[in-house]
């Protein structure tokens, strides 16, 4: 198939729109099924995946590539919903750990299949050169949209992450 410049522009815009719609639909499905944002669910998943079932806010910030202030906001909302608790560390009383509640564990167990998990599985199956090419292309698209400096975690979601 031989596409002209305008055809390629339309095809690229359609592909971008499909990606945006997929994240929008997933976010809506997640909100309806468990009442959380993708970022909130990711916090729960990270804590659930820790061997001792707890994580420090700093660990969450590093893993999610977000500021500690943003993590504090996410954790505050999860505490208010009864999904996590803040517990003082036995080893260092100055340190607070984020720990899942039973409700938080149930949320993780009942959450719909994450859009990003499907993406990760598909991406992981690509050849090394395909992964590198895709990352370069996506970084170029972000730069074309002047989005290169926007604070973003590796969570596929729509909207302001700080509202999470």
Does 162 map to a domain? no
**Any idea what the CATH number is for the domain that residue 28 is in?**
1.10.10.10
Residue-wise pLDDT for 50-108, tens only, equals: 988 899 999 999 998 888 999 999 999 999 999 999 998 777 778 899 999 999 999 98
Domain span at residue 134 reads: 5-155
Does 160 map to a domain? no
Q: Are 22 and 115 in contact (CB under 8 A)?
A: yes
Does 164 map to a domain? no
What is the predicted pLDDT for the residue at 160? 42
Give the C-alpha separation, 39 to 65, whole Å. 11
Provide mean pLDDT across the span 22-46. 83
Give the C-alpha separation, 17 to 53, whole Å. 38
Does 21 map to a domain? yes
Higher per-residue pLDDT: 51 or 156: 51
Can you give the pTM of this predicted structure? 0.65
Does 91 map to a domain? yes
From 4-18, 40-54, 144-158, the region with the lowest mean pLDDT: 144-158
Does 39 map to a domain? yes
Tokens encoding 81 = 């919903």
Higher per-residue pLDDT: 3 or 52: 52
3-class SS at 81? coil
pLDDT at 30 over 80: no
What total number of domains does the chain contain? Answer: 1
């Amino acid at each position: 198939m031989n596409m002209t410049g305008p055809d390629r522009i339309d095809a690229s815009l359609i592909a971008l729109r499909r990606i945006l719609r997929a994240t929008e639909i997933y976010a809506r499905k997640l909100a309806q099924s468990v009442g959380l944002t993708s970022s909130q669910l990711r916090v729960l998943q990270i804590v659930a995946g820790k061997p001792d079932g707890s994580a420090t806010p700093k660990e969450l910030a590093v893993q999610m590539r977000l500021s500690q202030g943003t993590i504090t906001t996410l954790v505050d909302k999860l505490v208010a919903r009864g999904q996590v608790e803040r517990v003082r560390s036995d080893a260092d009383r100055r340190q607070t750990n984020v720990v899942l509640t039973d409700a938080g564990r149930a949320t993780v167990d009942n959450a719909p299949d994450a859009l990003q998990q499907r993406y990760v599985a598909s991406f992981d199956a690509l050849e090394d050169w395909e992964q590198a090419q895709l990352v370069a292309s996506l970084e170029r698209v972000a730069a074309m949209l002047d989005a290169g400096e926007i604070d973003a975690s590796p969570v596929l979601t729509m909207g302001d992450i700080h509202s999470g």
